[in-house]
Structure 1
């Protein structure tokens, strides 16, 4: 009896470290030549423990990369109008180069209205309609950080997407939808699935590339993975569990991301890289933008 094949792990931690090192070098050059270090402003409404932890982690990573951080903590009672005023003020502040609104903000906040108060040139988290349009039309702009990290992982592991069938399970505005647009820009054939998809397994079984981003622990089972497929698990659930049943999926996939250590570190790395790019653009530096800032290297082809 032949041994069970085990998928090769896609190391997001290692790749993220290299991206952050590159961003740190660019940040240092910007500081030397302009006298101003890149600055990321983080905005948090309320004191949700998970959100507080995420923001602190991002601030710590900023410090290691030579990126200044400015944190604005707002009370849980903050209104949408007050949040918009805060974001508009940061957008107008020349000392701030990137803005991150930590979400969710609470059920009483109109998050879409808040996101749209972020100036496109400072939308380093890729959450505005402007950024989504840029991703959709393969134009210059900031990508949503998690989808951008996914694309970098696929490129690092030499995954040729042209002509491949990619199934994205999830349709959130900052993960599932933009991930599909970025895959389409690389000439993949993209199918979106979601919570109301009938017979999800049938779609997953046909996928050369699976992106699981629905927020349901172990929703994708190994028996539904096409042998030799590439599996990207962008889910994170309590207990360090992803949206894919790793143990069974890794016996059929060719490449697979672990949880943790796969997509998660890439999200922060892209955020920092895009903050440095934003600073370079705003300070008039000729420093080349990082890979994550360009949605696509060429003109989009409609055929």
Structure 2
């Protein structure tokens, strides 16, 4: 640890009782986030259209089989009910679409490799393992995000010592200022959208390691309505979760760190005609934060 940083932490630890150090709270904790230029996620995550999901035009997908009632001739107007009908005819449980690059509004964030998965849960006797009794359609989107590059990892390392324990990071959390699910407004002008959250049976947003396998949920359906730019909400990871433990170690070791952000949505059968894929998606704005215990940092430096 740099001598100047250690001296500052020691001075602040001494001054905690008097509140003389502004960047430490009463528990002796430092929040590392936007001010330290930890990259913000700011993206309009657009869902692929029905033609991308199915890998073929809707009007030719049914082949010689009977097409679903009301099958549209325009792909843009295809609802989840129509997509479900085609998947049922084709005998499919899942369809995957991978988009290699994703546009982000934040210049200092890096997103890539959107993997969109749609699951047909229309028949309770099929796709049992994936659907687990749910009837309708499930949608999942996973996107890779560079949480720390070499420069950002070095910046965090500047306030840590070589002997700092991962326990010095007392929390990993995200401040959400936007989490809006939408679809294109039928008959509306380009760019006009409607919120579709009310049509969900359930939803969740979470994170995992880049390779997956350690999914950890951050935000559940019941909190969506409370998130806005004027009422930002913070959500902390489970400190005992496998993902949290691995990420703490990566930060302490100043490693370049890629993670996955995932969203899952369950749409009940009766609401499938109310959602179109084309022109829909989710707008996300979140700021990752690391809460560091200054006392444990000091102990590691002594």
Taking structure 1 as the reference length, the TM-score comes to 0.25
Structure with higher helix content:
1
Taking structure 2 as the reference length, the TM-score comes to 0.25
Larger RCO, structures 1/2 (Cα 8 Å, 6+ apart):
2
